[in-house]
Amino acid sequence: MPSIGNISFENPLLLGPMAGVTDSAFRTICRELGAGYTITEMVSAKALCYQDQKTLPLMRLGEDEHPAGVQIFGSDLACMEEGAAIVREVAHPDIIDINMGCPVPKVANNGDGSGLLRDLDKACRVAEAVRKGAGEIPVTVKMRLGWDKGNIVCLELAQCLEDLGIAAITLHGRTKVQMYAGTANWDWIRRVKQALSIPVIANGDVFSGQDAARILRYTGADGVMIARGVFGNPWIFQQAQAAIDGRPIPPLPPLSQRCDTAVRQFELAAQYKSEKIACLEAQKHYAWYLKGVPYAGYWKSEISKISTLADVYRVTAGIKRELKDASDDG
């Protein structure tokens, strides 16, 4: 993995930003398990400009979380410039990333996220504004192919962004309209990579270590960003590194060890969020950790009722006592 701007990476494996998922606790787990770069959940530039106190914790980076980035979204030029400056001064990230890919209607239909793919001039002016606010910090962009299959604009936009001094592009191989349906088009990622001289990060349909190695080979990309493939499986980074190196891919650890990792994640989250919020969010995360485990229905139901760490410990003890899966001996 080459450097992005003046920031170097240990490996080409990046954790994608996901709202409600990639908080500081989960990013810590992923880094320990091999992610070479992590990035925050997307942060509203407008909320930063209006000094919304609920937004500031989203920018929190761990003490040892480097290299790491903060992702901002929006389309108001003044807010994007000011928001980038606030991120620079408050969070001190290595990189500031602009979200031009979020397909969620309330974001995209407002002209933010992938909504910028319908106005390339505006998208490029947003990039200029963020570069001004970011100062010396490298600025990157995460984007999709275009609004729909009749309007594939990724190549044109990527070339404009490179000309403006954007340090790297992450490209998800789907359109806004596709959301997460169908399959990601890796051909467009390859075309963009061939056309640019700045690093291009491949993203989309990476659900295993083999997928990570395959997308890098197929596209020639400089790195791979793993997003939904990490749900319940932060070990995917170890598996991806093994696949890239041509080594045997390690299996998932035993269920009891996966539970311990989940519990540690929730304890970390409770340290900087309220226990109540951490445990509410733990409900979906813990269910992901149990994906594919036979006879887990009862415990998934119990997980949906978690409201305290004591509940987490009680459920975990029950899971360890009663469940096993293919990764366990016997």
Task: Assess whether pLDDT exceeds 90 at residue 304.
Answer: yes
Query: Hey, what's the torsion of the CAs at 155, 35, 217, 144, to 10 degrees?
Result: -20
Residue 208 phi, psi dihedral angles, 5° rounding:
-155, 165
Task: Assess whether pLDDT exceeds 80 at residue 264.
Answer: yes
Distance, CA of 16 to CA of 173 (rounded, Å): 14
Other C-beta atoms closer than 10 Å to the C-beta of 105 total 12
pLDDT in tens, 80-95: 999 999 999 999 999 9
pLDDT-above-90 percentage for the chain? 92
Could you tell me the end-to-end alpha-carbon distance of the chain, in angstroms, rounded to an integer?
40
Highest mean pLDDT among 222-226, 292-296, 318-322: 222-226
Polymer length of the chain: 330
- Across residues 218-246, what is the average pLDDT? 97
Q: Which of 186, 247, 194 shows the shortest CA–CA distance to 218?
A: 186
Distance, CA of 224 to CA of 216 (rounded, Å): 7
Evaluate whether the domain defined by 255-322 bears CATH number 1.10.1200: yes
Q: Which helix (H) or strand (E) holds 224?
A: strand 223-226
Distance, CA of 30 to CA of 264 (rounded, Å): 12
**165 beta partners:** none
Given this model, what pLDDT does residue 327 score? 62
Given this model, what pLDDT does residue 54 score? 83
Kindly report the CA angle at 183 between 39 and 213, in degrees rounded to 5? 60
Domain ranges of the chain: 13-245, 255-322
- Across residues 18-27, what is the average pLDDT? 94
pLDDT in tens, 119-133: 999 999 999 999 999
Q: Which helix (H) or strand (E) holds 107?
A: helix 105-108
Given this model, what pLDDT does residue 63 score? 83
**Which three-class secondary structure state does DSSP give residue 74?**
coil
Task: Assess whether pLDDT exceeds 50 at residue 330.
Answer: no
Given this model, what pLDDT does residue 27 score? 97
User: Could you list the active site residues?
Assistant: 102
DSSP assignment of 81-104 equals: HHHHHHHHHHT--SEEEEEE----
**Which residues make Cβ contacts (< 8 Å) with residue 297, sequence separation at least 6?**
none
Given this model, what pLDDT does residue 172 score? 98
Angle formed by the axes of helices 120-134 and 77-90, nearest 10°: 30
- Across residues 149-173, what is the average pLDDT? 97
Which class would CATH give 13-245?
Answer: alpha beta
